[in-house]
Homo-oligomer: A and B are copies of this chain.
Amino acid sequence: MDMPAPLPIDLNTPYVAVDLDVLDRNLRVMAARATAQGLALRPHAKAHKCLQIARRQIDLGAVGLTVATVSEAEVFAKAGFTDLFIAYPVWASPARATRLRALAEQVSLRVGVDSAEGAQALADAVGEPGVEVLVEIDSGHHRSGVQPAAAGEVAAAAARAGLQVTGVFTFPGHGYGPCRQGQAAADEAAALDQAASALCAAGVDATVRSGGSTPTASMADPEALTEMRPGVYVFGDAQQVELGSCAWPDVALTVAATVVSGSGSRIILDAGSKVLGADQPTWATGGGRLPDHPDAHITALSEHHSTAVFPEDAPVPRRGDIVRVAPNHVCSAVNLADELVVVSGGREIDRWAVAARGANT
């Protein structure tokens, strides 16, 4: 596969560019994979936060969208998306109750719960006739979610509170690490199986068993899952390349940056953590990567500088040159930008608003 064309050089840097041809290929590949696996695809919109990309996902067969927050759900509901899953143990505080009730009346809404208290607060907030919920389980990432064996208890409490419990979900986030994807996918399948049995024992059918992440999507077990929720696959990023989930030609989103300083094999770019995000897991090789210079590494990130170091004998871009930078974690980079510059064949063809930027509540 060829690398995408170079980015336009006549715009103010840094800017966030999306190669439409690469994006569309990524969308088609994941849609076809879900179909081949017999899984419903409910992509996580927190990765792109863009109405235009969400529409493309639905047009390619996605059953609905996943979102992380009530305010993300509000943005997509307002834009006409009708099937939304807030895959988060939402705490239905009084400030959020009215908003949740309005959403539940407007769209087919599904919400995560991981405790009896959370379920009761949610039921009180939405009132009659309740709302669909999935019980979140911990498949090994050790963040939110209950242990699979405890899922029945939460499901029963949620049902008693008046919510429609339709199944279980998990995020196998412990697959974010070198060579951990296979184990995480196996953990995910085992945890969803066990949780579904726990629901059954509590008298609740686990019709929906939702999992998935970009690194584990190709290994999602169709015997255990009914649905998957990858997000990052639309763009790819340096983390996904370093994890082996995609290759450089699959990375659709990059930041165009200008070389502003440097000496010898070290250059300073005008894209820092306020554009790329500061995510840097311990296993990452740096603060992002340069897809056109895969042997270079970003050894330091400040807010408006990144320091890229090249191999000693490699040609080094000069002051004023524009280079493409792949952020480590594309979700963070997108959430820093107000708009994405859409390019095709090296030309700007559109701008897309990051409609749900900063939608954290």
Nearest-neighbour CB distance to chain B for A172, whole angstroms, equals 13
Residues of A273-297 at the interface with B, using a CB-CB cut-off of 8 Å, are: 273-275, 277-280
B96, B145, B173, B280: the one contacting A12 at CB < 8 Å is B96
Contact flag A14-B360 (CB < 8 Å), given A273-B279, A300-B143, A332-B303? yes
Query: Which chain B residue lies CB-closest to A115?
Result: B319
Total identical chains: 2
Contact flag A332-B261 (CB < 8 Å), given A121-B320, A268-B143? no
B70, B261, B336: the one contacting A144 at CB < 8 Å is B261
Contact flag A358-B332 (CB < 8 Å), given A46-B303, A118-B319? no
B14, B277, B361: the one contacting A361 at CB < 8 Å is B14
- CB of A117 within 8 A of chain B? yes
Contact A335 B274 (CB under 8 A): yes
- CB of A68 within 8 A of chain B? yes
Nearest-neighbour CB distance to chain B for A36, whole angstroms, equals 29
Contact flag A303-B68 (CB < 8 Å), given A115-B261, A143-B268, A358-B338? yes
Point out the residues of chain B lying under 8 angstroms from A85, CB to CB: none
Cα(A280)–Cα(B301), bound, Å: 11
Contact flag A336-B319 (CB < 8 Å), given A95-B10, A258-B91, A261-B89? no
Point out the residues of chain B lying under 8 angstroms from A115, CB to CB: 261, 319
- CB of A56 within 8 A of chain B? no
Q: Number of A interface residues, CB 8 Å?
A: 62
Contact flag A173-B15 (CB < 8 Å), given A10-B95, A144-B268, A335-B274? no
Nearest-neighbour CB distance to chain B for A123, whole angstroms, equals 14
Cα(A118)–Cα(B307), bound, Å: 18
Residues of A71-91 at the interface with B, using a CB-CB cut-off of 8 Å, are: 71, 88-91
Residues of A296-346 at the interface with B, using a CB-CB cut-off of 8 Å, are: 300, 302-305, 307, 319-320, 329, 331-332, 335-338
Query: Which chain B residue lies CB-closest to A69?
Result: B304
Contact A305 B10 (CB under 8 A): no
Contact flag A258-B336 (CB < 8 Å), given A12-B361, A118-B319, A303-B68? no
Query: Which chain B residue lies CB-closest to A337?
Result: B358
Question: 7 shortest A-B CB distances, which residue pairs?
Answer: A12-B361, A144-B261, A278-B278, A278-B279, A91-B260, A12-B95, A68-B304
- CB of A270 within 8 A of chain B? yes
Query: Which chain B residue lies CB-closest to A136?
Result: B261
30 cross-chain CB contacts under 8 A: A10-B94, A10-B95, A11-B95, A12-B95, A12-B99, A14-B360, A15-B361, A46-B304, A68-B304, A91-B258, A91-B320, A93-B258, A115-B319, A117-B320, A121-B320, A143-B302, A143-B307, A173-B302, A274-B331, A274-B332, A274-B335, A274-B360, A278-B279, A278-B280, A280-B280, A303-B332, A303-B335, A304-B360, A336-B358, A338-B358
- CB of A164 within 8 A of chain B? no
Nearest-neighbour CB distance to chain B for A307, whole angstroms, equals 6
| 4 further contact pairs, Cβ within 8 A, besides A274-B335, A277-B278 | A15-B361, A91-B319, A114-B261, A143-B305
Residues of A141-165 at the interface with B, using a CB-CB cut-off of 8 Å, are: 142-145
Contact B93 A320 (CB under 8 A): yes
